[in-house]
Structure 1
């Protein structure tokens, strides 16, 4: 879609004062999908030269905001860690054409903060930490689960930029379990639940996305009972936080969340034994 209100595109490598009507341009799959009447200038990140994905010496994984889904998928296929299968599962959870697959970015998926965003699911489940940069150059870090505040709402200040997401080595060493539900084949995720089991201390975490307006990550020092898991999810998700749109009613999303979370609990409990 043409953005006929945009009058200028600026290269992000050459800083300039942020002004009303500015927006960061990564892959552009959201920006060019619908009218953006408030926009006047795009700040293009495509020439920043950031390394898409990097495995650091301490075993942590840094994913640049400009990393595309295709790049992340290719990298993860060579990744020799227990959590590696989860990357492809989340990449394939996109409702996307090959064009979107090759243009959409991890950062864009996070910043759009849509409940069904599978990069939110992936990074929240693996304890991702977002690195944010202000217009003054100041940096701050925040967990993905806190960065996404609600449906379409994130923690970015005006002009602030998501630079990267870092996944710690310990999270990458976890066993994972993945469950997804949609109302119809190849449909947008209505429910997406991920479980992780830490082999070092047998702690378990369950992360709920798509069915809720924000990511909900629950940590248990030991695998919980079925009743304990259900109670924890019920306490963590308020009644108004079950997402409601044409891809699923809140009651259905809640029911499927409990069902899939229990499947994950049983799967990881077998692993723990």
Structure 2
């Protein structure tokens, strides 16, 4: 690495090292990530492809089981992401980290107005979520469908610095590539949001957890980093329907001794 490159990397780590460590992004990828962020290099298309999946209904299956088998978080059509590079992808390669753009970033209280007024946003979201929308003018029915479906695609991040308003959690939906990556409890990739300070833009970074061959599926854990079984179950409810009636929600009242000084 040249002297300038070393200085660039040192400055990058000084700004983003804490966030990268918190997200458990391996340090072997940091130099490549720095370069891709500085140059706005989106090279995922050289390694990945999106494949449409046709669902086959099996007679006799319960409705709940059908929902669990559904490979895509939204409505039809269904998709998954696979490795298309003929050489596969090696986790040890320092360039095996990729940027995913965000299609929509918003705060909840502004979502409806943005869908109504931002040109092209409603059309893009309905396409991404598999919602029928053929008009040019936003209609209330389509907006309502997006507002219901978006929670299956939503991700969130929160800035650690800035004003109280700037620290309010921000919601975002990844682009068509990122939104097609399916959930797995044994994922092949990890993802994490990263706010790139020089550009004041948030991206999602994607990196492999193991070596993959051509045709292997790209999956991620939608509850990445959460190890508590009950909390994982709650986080995954939009995609993995399950019963939580066995959870005891009773909160016992403290004894009188609790209030004694």
What's the TM-score once normalised by structure 2's chain length?
A: 0.24
Give the number of the structure whose alpha-carbon radius of gyration is greater: 2
If asked which structure has higher relative contact order (CA below 8 Å, sep 6+), I would say 2
Higher share of residues assigned strand: 1
What's the TM-score once normalised by structure 1's chain length?
A: 0.23
